[in-house]
Amino acid sequence: MAPGRAGLRGRAGRAGDPAELAAGGGRWRGAPRGPGRRHPPRSRRPGAAVRGHRSRGAGGGAERVAARTAGRRGRARPGTPGVRCRPAAGAAGAGGLGDRFPRVATVDRRRARAAAAHRRPPWRCRRPPRGRRLERGGAVSEAGWSAWPAPAKLNLFLRITGRRADGYHELQTVFRMLDWGDTVRLRLRPDGRIVRHGPDLAAVPEAADLSLRAADMLRSELNVGHGVDIRVEKRTPAGGGFGGGSSDAATVLRALDAIWGLEAGVDRLAAIGASLGADVPVFVHGHNAWAEGVGERLFPVDLAPAWYLVADPGVHVATATLFQAPELTRDAAPATISDFASGAPLGNVFEPVLRGLEPAVEAAFQALAHVGTPRLTGTGSGCFVEFAARGPAEDALARLPQGLDARVVAGAPRSPLLDALAAWSPQGRRQEVQGTGF
């Protein structure tokens, strides 16, 4: 049984107008990304194969940041015997490696060039405050800013079981929250404006920035005129399948709901989030979850502690592009939670597609295969190997070729955002209100 599955217990469970925004600017290269959605396309980022960003240990050890040169059939049944369910929350291996990063010579170059396309801007290589763990958040600084975690996620498997009339695909997946991600900082504004701060999202146009769009949409839906300063400190690589932008948006929704005193309710916030992106609702609810539909039917699950060796091949093929790939398997037999809990290899439908399209992804898989069983998260290009304990994950990290961006992160029992919300007190709220005169 895979480490993260041991002890699994199922607990059954678009686009608004741009806000009044300030600052920022800049664009990724290339044409706009999928229909009606947020981001521009992508490509191989320059120097991706030689960029180093490796961290040792999850949640507390020293961080090293260095530039380097280099199924079974049947619907999922929350009531499956042996799996504890509750109502839906809304509708290693071993081996050695040489020093050189493996190069792949067998890739279809024509397809690779076509996919090409687009390289992401670099994963920011800087030490996050207080180690690599997410800030617990909720406290209000003297300057009136509060900090809120926006955790990354992994898709422990991903299958497409059908397609809706609107073209969206019906999925099955398990979302695993990570104790690693972005930090969203918020400060009330008395002037009713939504203003972006900080350099980390400068390359994302404000009208496409999910954190700003979330704030704007919340305001419109709740018919309030509050203002806020937003600063996102990015750690998740954009377009890596780690759900960074979606998590930022969810954190903005839930934190502003608290700070603005809206009390909209989690289900309503999740519904607002769903209009921003399919991955937003799970972050709004904040639980590790078995997901169906396009990700809106969530069944919370308890996952055993696990550590993940996470790698970023540094390329990004647009999610919409991958969902349109003709070779995609769109009629997978529905799996059950029991299938997942048994450790059956449920796979990620995008893995063969992306490995064929992107040599860097194929190379990352080959490298990770020396230390365990690699999997793709989301539509990639991030990939990971799961470990039951931190030590072996660290050992595996040490054995990876230096040219591969990789780090060890801990799986979280639930979103750290929930802890931050629980810790956020009316006292803190009063301080913030006083601090800004709002």
Strands 146-163 and 405-410: unpaired
Q: Could you tell me how many residues of this chain bind ligand CDM (CB under 6 A)? A: 21
Is 321 among the residues that bind ligand ATP (CB under 6 A)? no
**Cβ atoms of 322 and 353 closer than 8 Å:** yes
- 11 makes contact, choosing from ligand ATP, ligand CDM, none, with CB < 5 to 8 Å by partner type, with none
- How many other C-beta atoms are found inside a 10 Å radius of the C-beta of residue 57? 21
Is residue 279 annotated as part of the catalytic site, yes or no? Answer: yes
For position 241 contacting ligand ATP by CB under 6 A, the verdict is: yes
> DSSP letters along 132-167, please?
SSPP----B-TTS-EEEEEEEEEEEEEEEEEE-TTS
Piece of the chain touching ligand CDM by CB under 6 A; list 183-191, 226-234, 319-327, 423-431: 319-327
Q: State which H helix or E strand residue 172 sits in.
A: strand 169-189
| Cα–Cα dist 390/336, whole Å | 28
* Span near ligand ATP by CB under 6 A; candidates 238-246, 268-276, 360-368, 383-391: 238-246
Output the DSSP codes for 66-97: --------S---TT-TT------S--------
237 labelled as ligand-binding? yes
Q: 31 is written with which tokens?
A: 């044409």
The residue type of 8 is L
Here the tokens at position 190 are 């008395």
CB count within 10 Å of CB 107 equals 18
Contact between 231 and ligand ATP per CB under 6 A: no
- 332: number of Cβ within 10 Å: 18
Which one of residues 13, 144, 245, 334 is an interface residue with ligand ATP (CB under 6 A)? 245
Compute how many other C-beta atoms are within 10 angstroms of the C-beta atom of residue 124: 16
C-beta of 323: minimal distance to ligand CDM in Å? 4
Residue 187 or 316: the one with the smaller Cβ distance to ligand CDM is 316
Residue of 135, 170, 206, 248 interacting with ligand ATP (CB under 6 A): 248
Confirm whether residue 36 is marked as ligand binding.
no
**Residue 176 touches ligand CDM, criterion: CB under 6 A:** no
Using CB under 6 A, which of the segments 65-73, 276-284, 395-403, 424-432 binds ligand CDM?
276-284
Residues 6 or more apart whose CB falls under 8 angstroms from that of 391 comprise none
| x/- track of binding to ligand CDM for residues 366-385 (CB under 6 A) | ------------xx------
Residues 6+ apart with CB under 8 A from 223: none
Q: Which does 290 bind (CB under 5 to 8 A by kind): ligand CDM, ligand ATP, none?
A: none
355: tokens are: 């490995």
In angstroms, the Cα distances linking 88 to 49, 74, 293, 389 are 42, 18, 13, 30
Tokens standing for 149? 């975690």
Instruction: State the binding partner of 169 from ligand CDM, ligand ATP, none, CB within 5 to 8 A by kind.
Output: ligand CDM
- For ligand ATP, the binding residues in 129-168 under the rule CB under 6 A are none
> Could you tell which of ligand CDM, ligand ATP, none binds residue 323, using a CB distance below 5 to 8 A set by kind?
ligand CDM
205: nearest Cα among 4, 386, 432, 32: 32
Query: Site mask, ligand ATP, residues 38-57, x = CB under 6 A?
Result: xxx-----------------
Q: Is there binding between residue 360 and ligand ATP (CB under 6 A)?
A: no
Mark the binding-site residues for ATP, compressed into ranges.
Answer: 237-247
Footprint on this chain of ligand ATP (rule: CB under 6 A):
28, 38-40, 201, 204, 208-211, 232, 236, 238-246, 248, 319, 378-379
Catalytic residues: 153, 279
Footprint on this chain of ligand CDM (rule: CB under 6 A):
34-35, 37, 155, 158, 167-169, 171, 173, 246, 277-279, 294-295, 319-320, 323, 378-379
